[in-house]
Amino acid sequence: MRVFFAKLSLAAFFALVVFPAFADEEVTFEANSPLTVSVGGAFRVEFALNAKPDGGSFEAPSFEGFDVLAGPAESTGSSIQIINGSMTKSVSHTYTYVLLPQAAGTVTIGAAEVKVDGRTYRTQPLPIEIVDEGESAQPRQQPRDRHSGSGSDEVQNQIGKEDILLRAVVSRSSVYKNEPIHVAFKLYTRVPYVNIVPESAPSFNGFWSQDLTDPNSAQVSRETYNGKVYETRVLLDYLLYPQQVGTLTIDPVEMTVVAQVVIQSRNADPFFGTGREVLNVPRKVKSQRTTISVKPLPDGAPASFSGAVGSFTMDTEFPSERLAANSGANITVKISGRGNLTFVQAPKLQLPSSFELYNVKTTESINASASGISGYRQFEYPFIARAEGSYELEPVEFTYFDPQRMAYMTLKSKSQPLEITPDTQGGGGAVVMQGRGMSKEEVKLLGEDIRFIKIGSGQLRSASVPFLFSAPYWILLACILLLFVLAYAALRHRIRESQNLALVRGKRANKVAVQRFRTAKRYMEEQNRHSFYEEMLRALWGYMSDKFNIPMANLTKENVREELHKRGVSADDSQRFTDIITRCDEAQYSPVESARMADVYSEGVNLISRIESAIKR
């Protein structure tokens, strides 16, 4: 009875504490579909809700211009996350339709409605472009005889010449010098692919380039090119600033795209019996050569022009109108806007001759995007006013070329009056120089802060002391003896370690694993799946055997997890090791590729690196 009441109390505590911890999430109802589809090609439309709908409250749009092949198919999911003691719960409810376009044109799917707790939510209308691709849209599939000599040609023929394209998309072809150009190397595909291998790197001779490529971005969109619908993906993204005048060339980029082709085989597999094969077909693609016409900047640039091109503003900040002599102050100039901010130089500052100007301090905040570089560069001019009096600081001028207006624009600050008062120590003296190459008789000494260098012979005498038995001699001798002792101790330590075979294997485990990973990478580039997964298994099992001094015959997933736990490796990394081993075992003997070799390779290398770091700690 006590046990029953204890369980009941625990359940009540859980209900009172845990359920209120669920964070209320804003309800969203969104519609998702491709932006561009082809006539005769079926596609999916999903209406996703992140809450539980009221029963029977969903109302679908009319789908005018489409034939509904299937739907609505409802799917529901939920998840709970606990992070730092905070528990959140998420719910998803999706309605899926399969539609078939009736005719080419632009058709809008209306809004769908659903109710949650009596409140109505609607999706935004979805405009979809329907393109008529003609006969090119028909799939090309032919049966393949496993024993036919022309099988390789038939597989290649499954991929049309225009099914995989690589294009250099340039924002414009005629610009001024130092005016930005956006270049994106985009992959256009009409067939599935599993890997992309770069063959050459981009070359931008005559340009200053800013790499905008996001290695973590794999966003895929749909576009129409030459009357055909493609899935597109930006592989390389650059912002270019031409540094030369004339015709500049963007050289082509070459890549190998490994596409997948489904082949109908006349000889069905006796075990699986599907009669279909999925083959990897490498196809080399090359972007077009692009020329850019770079125009020179117009003549007649003002003296304050230093090469800035774009659209800018200038803010200046002068010190107060009164300043004590021999004290420091700053003049700040901030150039903001969009253009070649990286090349913007500090404007020239004209100060009275009795002012000492020091090195300019530059701070900047620059953001690079496809439309150009924006942000600001701020210049601080520190100076010291030596001589008292009344001065007029000349205006600061900054000139840039505006490509939109095709003219030079000059920004000019106001002049600033400045009165220098005697310093607190009663001196306002300074050295006033009116030019270079002056003699000391032409220098007016207003204070006691300058002394001239004495010239002539100093009548110095050299005192020589014998090195032998001197203090440096004994110090050098002691250092030599100390180095000998340290070298002897290090050598003895190395000999003891080399006799310990288990210790040697443990230290060489990471090096051996790296060599095996390199061999696996070579198999991956050759698309040799069986050898790749076999070498990955050797690298992973071999590392664990050498690192933990466990014979290969005794290695199991359980004792590896136990050893990793003893050495402070997280449970997530231990589970990842088991997952990678399982995926390699399945992919090695499965005829259908269930795991991408690139993902398996990357996860294996990263896992060994994290384990090595955890063990060293």
211-235 pLDDT tens trace:
888 877 778 888 888 888 888 999 9
Same domain, 147 and 285: yes
pLDDT for 244-265, tens place per residue? Answer: 999 999 999 999 999 887 766 6
Q: 425 is in which domain, residue-wise? A: 297-432
Cα→Cα distances 562→176, 548, 565, 568, 569, Å: 65, 11, 5, 10, 10
- The percentage of the chain sitting over the pLDDT mark of 90, rounded to a whole number, equals 21
Does the pLDDT at position 402 exceed 90? yes
- Mean confidence (pLDDT) of the chain: 79
What are φ and ψ of residue 577, in 5° steps?
-60, -45
Which position has the higher pLDDT, 104 or 264?
104
Q: What is the pLDDT of residue 440?
A: 39
pLDDT at 32: 83
> Could you tell me if 113 and 174 lie in one domain?
no
102: which 2 tokens? 């009736």
CA distance linking residue 327 with residue 304, whole number of Å: 29
- Per-residue pLDDT tens over the stretch 327-372: 888 899 999 999 988 889 899 888 888 888 888 999 999 898 888 8
At 76, is the pLDDT very low, low, confident or very high (cuts 50, 70, 90)?
Answer: confident
pLDDT band at residue 612 using 50, 70 and 90 as cut-offs: confident
Range in 13-17, 104-108, 183-187, 376-380 with the lowest mean pLDDT: 13-17
Residues 281 and 321 in one domain: no
Do residues 208 and 221 share a domain? yes
What pLDDT score was predicted for residue 547?
A: 79
| Amino acid 14: pLDDT | 45
Per-residue pLDDT band at 99 (split at 50, 70, 90): confident
Helix ranges (H only) for 392-438 are none
Whether residues 308 and 269 share a domain: the answer is no
Same domain, 79 and 122: yes
The winner for highest mean pLDDT among 418-422, 448-452, 464-468 is 418-422
CATH of the domain at 98: 2.60.40.10
- Is residue 127 assigned to a domain? yes
* Helix, strand, coil share of the chain (percent; to 5): 25, 40, 35
Q: Which domain CATH number covers 323?
A: 2.60.40
CATH of the domain at 525: 1.20.120.330
Residue 13, in any domain of the structure: no
Q: Which pLDDT does position 443 carry in this prediction?
A: 41
Dihedrals phi, psi of 170, to nearest 5 degrees? -105, 135
Pairwise CA distance, residues 434 & 431, whole Å? 10
Query: Do 267 and 177 lie in a common domain?
Result: yes
571 pLDDT above the threshold of 60: yes
Q: Based on the domain organization, do 174 and 261 belong to the same domain?
A: yes
423/557 same-domain check: no
Number of helical (H) and strand (E) elements in the chain, helices listed first: 8, 33
Q: Which helix (H) or strand (E) holds 309?
A: strand 305-317
- The mean per-residue pLDDT over the stretch 309-330 comes to 88
340, 415: one domain: yes
pLDDT digit string (tens) for 132-149? Answer: 766 444 444 444 444 444
pTM (global) more than 0.85: no
Residues 515 and 589 placed together within one structural domain of the fold = yes
Residues 148 and 288 in one domain: yes
Number of domain units in the chain: 4
